[in-house]
Amino acid sequence: MSDTITKPTSTPPDTVALLTQRRTRGGWRAMLPTMSAKFVTGVVIVVTIVLFGIIGPLVTQNPRYSGNDALQPPSAEHLLGTTKLGYDVFAQLAHGTQGSLLVGIVAGLIAIILSLLFGVLAGYIGGWRDESLSLVTNIALVIPGLPLAMVIATYFSTRSWLLVAFVLGITSWAGAAVVLRTQARSLRSRDYVYAAKVAGERSFRVILVEILPNLLPLLAAQFLFAIIFAILGEAGLSYLGLGATDSITWGTILNDAQSGQALGTGAWWWFIPPGILIALLGCGLSLINFAIDEIINPKLRVAPEAARRVRKAAKMKGVGA
């Protein structure tokens, strides 16, 4: 009696093969997000808002010009109406977009630099220096960021947008540092890192050449999250009267609308546009972040393709039956 082995008629999708197939792009191209619908939508939203912040202030009137009639609804002359003091809302929105974007980008850069210092550096060097840097990170992690930013902002009677960005940046880096430290500790035990050490490469070059390129998708995701947090934080601070005093942002527009009783007077055109732009920018950056997550998490990257293959196999089995 001979033993026979019956092979299954259909095999499940090979995750490793799918990953290998997707990585055949190679090099830096493999680190780019796939051209999915959410990525394209997010890029379109963000680029449109950025272009509005760059071009808008060049073609609008002075946002502090009060010669217009007060509380005028949207019209051909004033696309988004005017405020209680006669300011053109469209002009203020254009300048406010530029101010909020600057705050978000600068705060994001500060947060990501601190995350690299206390995360990647600590995770790579190890030992007592790792413990010391991790102690600072853990202390910063348990301190609530926005209340601390409010306390710091109250000490300055005059606040520039750069000061607000600095305050938001130094209060929002700890969470990203923990994630980066974990990844750096994992990467430092890889064979190519050991090979670089044996070859006599300095630690700085090993981090720069061997560690950071593998962390680029994660760094991009953390940077986008820091921008979202900074813009929302600035809007919250400005709404409470603790934002920038020498520039216009979306938050200062909302604060002026609140103090000018825009809701009570029915001047919806004063507070709804900045709120919509804040929501749209957050949505656009989140969509891009979701697309980057597909690079960071291989399961998210291969799951759609694996699901399609399973559905196709099930459909062909049903047709054959």
Could you read off the pLDDT of 221-235 as tens digits, one per residue?
Answer: 889 999 999 999 899
C-alpha atoms less than 13 angstroms from C-alpha of 198 in its C-beta half-sphere: 7
Helix residue ranges, H only, the chain:
15-22, 37-59, 89-115, 121-125, 127-142, 145-154, 161-170, 174-187, 191-198, 203-206, 212-239, 250-259, 262-265, 268-296, 298-320
> Hey, what's the torsion of the CAs at 59, 106, 46, 289, to 10 degrees?
180
Q: What is the pLDDT along the chain (321 residues), one digit of tens a residue?
A: 444 444 444 444 444 444 344 444 444 455 555 667 888 999 999 999 999 999 999 998 999 988 888 888 999 888 999 999 899 999 999 999 999 999 999 999 999 999 998 988 888 887 788 888 888 888 888 887 778 888 887 888 788 888 889 989 998 898 889 888 888 888 888 888 888 888 878 878 888 888 888 888 888 888 999 999 999 989 988 888 888 888 899 999 999 998 888 888 889 999 999 999 999 999 999 999 888 877 766 555 555 555 556 666 666 665 555
Non-local (6+) Cβ contacts of 196 within 8 A are: 205, 206, 209, 210
Nearest alpha-carbon partner for 100 in 161, 149, 141: 161
Q: How far is CA 264 from CA 13, 51, 229, in A?
A: 60, 33, 29
Contact 285, 226 (CB under 8 A): no
Could you read off the pLDDT of 202-222 as tens digits, one per residue?
Answer: 878 888 888 888 888 888 888
C-alpha atoms less than 13 angstroms from C-alpha of 11 in its C-beta half-sphere: 6
Contact 60, 91 (CB under 8 A): yes
Residue found under tokens 């609308």: 257
